[in-house]
Structure 1
Amino acid sequence: MFTSSKTLRTAVTALATGAVSLSLLTASTGTAQAAEQVCTGTSSIYGILDDGRLTYSAITPGTGNRIRTRVGPDLGFEPKAMATLNFNTILVTSTAGALYRVDVQTNDETLAVSAIDKIIDKGWTHDKLSYDGYGHLYGTTADGTLLQYLVSQAKPKGVEHIGQRAEIGTGFVLKTLTTVGQDRLIATTEAGKLFSYKIIGGAWKRDDLKESGWSGFDQVVSSGSGFYYGRIATTGAMYWYKDANISDGNGDDIAYHNDDPVDTSGWTQTLLSAAPGQVTCKSVSTLGQDIARDAKAEVGNNFNDYDFDFSRAWCAEFVKYIWAGNDVTGSSELDARAISLREYGLKHGTYRSGSPKVGDAVLYDTDKNLTDGEADHVNIVVAVSADGKQIETVGGNESRQVQKTGWFNWDTASSPIGAGPALAFISPKG
């Protein structure tokens, strides 16, 4: 299906120049990133051809090189929208309103599926679907309503595993829509605008990343960590972009690769969907500082409209929220229990009783015992003194909001934030 690949491309620069002149792309190259990022993983993109066959393409995220493409079987129904839940599980709706789960058996040398199951008979009339990798499936309707569903199983079997339907808002009449992180989406309009959305409980916030330049794409997907892929239907070309920070609400730090697309043609699928969370990128030298910056930016926020599992005990969920926003490896393993940070640290080898670092989680306990399966509080280290004895922290659910402490000696303070002494530090896994 691909007539040219990255290794055999010709006239790429001329193609990109022509695309810019047609307002298909913006000529901006984006702002250089402050620190070199180290990216791991593969951008995995599934698609469906107009004859109903499933496709799989793998792209190296840091270079935009397409590694391989495989074409699989006909799904046996007329698809309307699709969302990839994980590396081998895809949800696809039919034009009749049914929801199917497609289980991929292999996508290496061949693309084969082990099952195509209709899991819901009717009602799924969404024109777009996308899954954020953190339990939330998003869909839009033809009238512009944005809906959110909770997916509770990696391979859902029906309404018992895809539920808690919530209407987020109206006015989402968009050309493309895809998730880029936990409860974060980007979208394009017919006029070429690029929007970013943050879903906060039942509310939402929009940032305008670009005022123009994205009108040529009929499909935009993301594999996570700020990698965006846009397909131009008229040529079948696929372009790639890197957003240095998906949470800053600013499009100036999106790096463009107009002169080096993934492919100049061949992407003829009617639908495309990327597997979420398959790529992680870390500014290794600044990960802790990035976490501290984002934590401090939330000081004063009471998170009343955010859907934490425990609305009156959300200190650990705040740490998870900040870490997940910085693509910390294994952040999805954290839960509402403060002691889950200890479990994380022991599993990943980052648990210590001293030597705090910026970006660390710090555990407190009034009975001074973290081996009993409980901790009273956790927050984030945002500053460490030169001698390592003094720290500043930011924590969630401190007087029902996010608060920042002044300097204190972590080793001698008996209860610096009213939850017992600081007993352990857990570094995020880079």
Structure 2
Amino acid sequence: MFRTGKTLRTAVTAIAAGAFSLGLVTANTGTAAAAETVCSGTASVYGILPDGRLTYSAINPTNGDRIKTLTGADLGFTPQAMATLNFNTILVTSTTGALYRIDIQTNNTSLTLANAPVRIADSGWTHDKLTYDGHGHLYGTTTSGLLLQYTVTEDKPAGSQHIGMRKEIDSGFVLKTLSAVGQDRLIATTVDGKLLSYQIVGDAWRRSDLKSDGWSAFDQLVSPGAGFYYGRIPTTGAMYWYKDGNISDGSGADIAYHTSDPVDASGWTQQLLSAAPRTVSCKSVSTLGQDIANAANAEVGKTFTNYPFTYNRAWCAEFVKYIWAGEDVDYASQLDARAWSLYKYGTNHGTWKTTAPKVGDAVLYDTDGTLGDGEADHVNIVVGVSSDGTQIQTVGGNESHQVSKSGWFAWKTASSPVGAGRVMGFASPIG
């Protein structure tokens, strides 16, 4: 299926020229992200060959080199769409509308299934595309253009009790490709070559046109997270890679192109591809904390209706979880809608403290002065710390019914910006 590694570099120029004629981007390079970042992890891409066999490919996100490709067993049914939940669990629909769970035993030196494909639904899964955002939401489209959202509650779902809360987002999503790039964030291409970005907010959605043309050649577009996009051209089997400097800015101006240095110039013959979500992360050299602060500051002024939150009168903790998860903070999925869950996070992972706040920390407040009762009255994010450590600035959700930024205040003596009691301490993120 592939020739070895980057041995095809002598043919790249010719392939790139062919890519342009097929409707790819017309520029060799895009605008790089303004801030230098350090990326880690591996882009893990599963696929299904026309003969029904499963494949696994690992790609180095830093240089675009394919590390390896392994081929496994025939799945035993005709696949229609696929979505990777995690490193060893894949969901695949059949052309008859059944839904299967594929359990991977190993993808180290060989690709081996742990068991035969598990049929978890007999019918009803007539989606032409599937993708999973890595944060509990599975998205699918139908041939008529209906976008659906499901909530996944188990790493290895066994049936409708683990994949439920079917929600029809809207019609009009007639797309050529579809992939999740983050929490309730999707990218897609159209037949006429547009690159689109969607944010799903509860029952609503927002669309941004990242590129107006140039993306028509791809029949598969997948993302392992951190703004990396991988597109396959069916006519040549080439795989190209891109890096979006900011997936949430609604702009394609900061997408870096690597047209002259593809992952491979040929060999990607899979009929379906799906990347495992959140297997790649990128952190600014200015530290994780500053990334969190930057993300929080960018949300100031937005209201509850801008987010996929549950509790419209108490969403401060949901906001912190949203920001932390968006910056790939470890164990952010353990947070919930209670402000106290940040205290639990800190104590469980050894990051709870009552002194020395740092930018990016979650700061908890309580009116009765104790967290031992399992309650806290408010939480927000530290976005600034004075040089002597005595003053902080914060950004928090549900402050005057919106995301608000405080002025500087002495955290040891002042109450919270919304009168929810004094500062009880700080939970630092892990990343």
Which band: TM-score by shorter chain? over 0.9
Query: Which residue in 2 is equivalent to 1:423?
Result: 424
Task: Answer yes or no: is the 8 Å Cα contact 1:228–1:242 preserved in 2.
Answer: yes
Q: Confirm or deny that 1:395 pairs with 2:396.
A: yes
Query: Which residue in 2 is equivalent to 1:256?
Result: 257
Q: Confirm or deny that 1:246 pairs with 2:250.
A: no
Q: Tell which deviates more after alignment, 65-74 or 12-21.
A: 12-21
Query: Which amino acid counterpart does residue 276 of structure 1 have in structure 2?
Result: P
Partners of 2:420 and 2:233 lie apart in 1 by 55
Partners of 1:56 and 1:372 lie apart in 2 by 48
Task: Answer yes or no: is the 8 Å Cα contact 1:364–1:420 preserved in 2.
Answer: yes
Task: State the shift of 1:429 in Å.
Answer: 2.3
Gaps of at least 5 residues in structure 2 are none
Task: State the shift of 1:374 in Å.
Answer: 2.4
Q: CA deviation digits over 1:359-401, x for unaligned, max 9?
A: 2211111222234432211001122223322222111122332
Q: Tell which deviates more after alignment, 322-331 or 264-273.
A: 322-331
Query: Which residue in 1 is equivalent to 2:238?
Result: 237
SS at match of 1:265: coil
Task: Answer yes or no: is the 8 Å Cα contact 2:98–2:121 preserved in 1.
Answer: yes
Query: Which residue in 2 is equivalent to 1:169?
Result: 170
Partners of 2:235 and 2:334 lie apart in 1 by 42
Task: Answer yes or no: is the 8 Å Cα contact 2:225–2:278 preserved in 1.
Answer: yes
Query: Which residue in 1 is equivalent to 2:352?
Result: 351
Query: Which amino acid counterpart does residue 149 of structure 1 have in structure 2?
Result: Y
Task: Answer yes or no: is the 8 Å Cα contact 2:137–2:151 preserved in 1.
Answer: yes
TM-score (norm 2): 0.95
SS at match of 2:114: strand
SS at match of 2:199: strand
Query: Which residue in 1 is equivalent to 2:150?
Result: 149
Partners of 1:228 and 1:279 lie apart in 2 by 11
Task: State the shift of 1:415 in Å.
Answer: 4.5
Partners of 1:340 and 1:7 lie apart in 2 by 51
Q: Tell which deviates more after alignment, 363-372 or 315-324.
A: 363-372
Task: State the shift of 1:8 in Å.
Answer: 5.0
Q: CA deviation digits over 1:76-115, x for unaligned, max 9?
A: 1110000011111111011001111111111111111123
Query: Which residue in 2 is equivalent to 1:32?
Result: 32
Gaps of at least 5 residues in structure 1 are none
Partners of 1:228 and 1:26 lie apart in 2 by 17
Task: State the shift of 1:317 in Å.
Answer: 0.8
Q: CA deviation digits over 1:232-278, x for unaligned, max 9?
A: 00000101111111111111111111111111111000000011111
Query: Which residue in 2 is equivalent to 1:290?
Result: 291
Q: Confirm or deny that 1:111 pairs with 2:111.
A: yes
Report the number of matched residues. Answer: 430
Task: Answer yes or no: is the 8 Å Cα contact 2:8–2:264 preserved in 1.
Answer: no
Partners of 1:290 and 1:48 lie apart in 2 by 37
Q: Tell which deviates more after alignment, 271-280 or 339-348.
A: 339-348
Task: State the shift of 1:325 in Å.
Answer: 1.8
SS at match of 1:304: helix
Q: Confirm or deny that 1:96 pairs with 2:96.
A: yes
Task: Answer yes or no: is the 8 Å Cα contact 1:202–1:305 preserved in 2.
Answer: no
SS at match of 1:406: coil
Task: Answer yes or no: is the 8 Å Cα contact 1:5–1:264 preserved in 2.
Answer: no
Task: State the shift of 1:132 in Å.
Answer: 0.4
Residues 192, 415 of structure 1: CA spacing in aligned structure 2 closer, same or farther, 3 A cutoff?
A: closer
Partners of 1:326 and 1:220 lie apart in 2 by 22
Query: Which residue in 1 is equivalent to 2:53?
Result: 53
SS at match of 1:343: helix
Residues 28, 212 of structure 1: CA spacing in aligned structure 2 closer, same or farther, 3 A cutoff?
A: farther
Query: Which residue in 1 is equivalent to 2:188?
Result: 187
Q: Tell which deviates more after alignment, 12-21 or 93-102.
A: 12-21
Q: Tell which deviates more after alignment, 111-120 or 262-271.
A: 111-120
Partners of 1:366 and 1:404 lie apart in 2 by 21
Task: Answer yes or no: is the 8 Å Cα contact 2:22–2:216 preserved in 1.
Answer: no
Q: Confirm or deny that 1:71 pairs with 2:71.
A: yes
Query: Which residue in 1 is equivalent to 2:381?
Result: 380
SS at match of 2:59: strand
Partners of 2:81 and 2:381 lie apart in 1 by 40
Task: State the shift of 1:305 in Å.
Answer: 6.1
SS at match of 1:379: strand
TM-score (norm 1): 0.96
Task: Answer yes or no: is the 8 Å Cα contact 2:363–2:424 preserved in 1.
Answer: yes
Partners of 1:406 and 1:138 lie apart in 2 by 40
Task: Answer yes or no: is the 8 Å Cα contact 1:362–1:381 preserved in 2.
Answer: yes
Query: Which amino acid counterpart does residue 18 of structure 2 have in structure 1?
Result: G
Task: Answer yes or no: is the 8 Å Cα contact 2:58–2:66 preserved in 1.
Answer: yes
Task: Answer yes or no: is the 8 Å Cα contact 2:37–2:285 preserved in 1.
Answer: yes
Query: Which residue in 2 is equivalent to 1:136?
Result: 137
Task: State the shift of 1:27 in Å.
Answer: 1.3
Query: Which residue in 2 is equivalent to 1:160?
Result: 161
Partners of 1:36 and 1:348 lie apart in 2 by 29
Query: Which residue in 2 is equivalent to 1:274?
Result: 275
Task: Answer yes or no: is the 8 Å Cα contact 1:31–1:254 preserved in 2.
Answer: yes
Residues 10, 164 of structure 1: CA spacing in aligned structure 2 closer, same or farther, 3 A cutoff?
A: same
Partners of 2:21 and 2:44 lie apart in 1 by 30
Identity %: 70
Task: Answer yes or no: is the 8 Å Cα contact 2:80–2:92 preserved in 1.
Answer: yes
Residues 66, 303 of structure 1: CA spacing in aligned structure 2 closer, same or farther, 3 A cutoff?
A: same
Task: State the shift of 1:281 in Å.
Answer: 1.1
